[in-house]
Amino acid sequence: MTTTDYALYIAGLPRVLAAAAALFRDAEGRVLVVEPNYREGWALPGGTVESDTGETPRQAARRETAEEVGLDVELGALLAVDWSHGPARPPIVAYVYDGGVLPDEEFAAIRLQEEELLSWKLIDPAEVTAHLLGSLGLRVVAALDALVRGAGPVELENGRPVR
């Protein structure tokens, strides 16, 4: 196979998007969520992995968190990996990392990226699926469960654990 043939082969492969987010909590166990201005519902701080630059999911979660809310925090363990697909977009592999429990001063210092976000708040874990729609809410519930159980990362498909 020539270099040109290989390039054509690679170009013809299916595309999968990658996204990464950080799960931050306060001392009461509430979860930090952000309100995007470009879609309905809430989200975790995070975003798309810039694979063309060689960025890893962990690096993307940290970069996006710093850009979106001004928190530049060393992320902890990988909590969940979710294969999410739908009819209107390519599949997405979504990674959720432990952002840890932050002190109140860190939350008070949040500065929103106004080009993308309207607001932020801390929500009780019981409210996660009411604020984070679809597989995202299920993904965060699974990540919180992995934290409580002290388990390794959970593998998900559309937010549901793979067994």
How much is the pLDDT for 110?
97
Q: Dump pLDDT digits (tens) for 20-59.
A: 999 999 999 999 999 999 988 999 999 999 988 999 999 9
Name the strand (E) or helix (H) holding 19: strand 17-25
Name the amino acid, one letter, at 66: A
Q: CA triplet 71, 119, 79: central angle to 5 degrees?
A: 50
How much is the pLDDT for 46?
97
Q: Dump pLDDT digits (tens) for 87-144.
A: 877 899 999 999 999 999 999 999 999 999 999 999 999 999 999 999 999 999 999 9
Q: Is the pLDDT of residue 4 over 90?
A: no
- CA 124 – CA 21 distance, rounded (Å): 18
Domains observed in the chain = 19-161 (3.90.79.10)
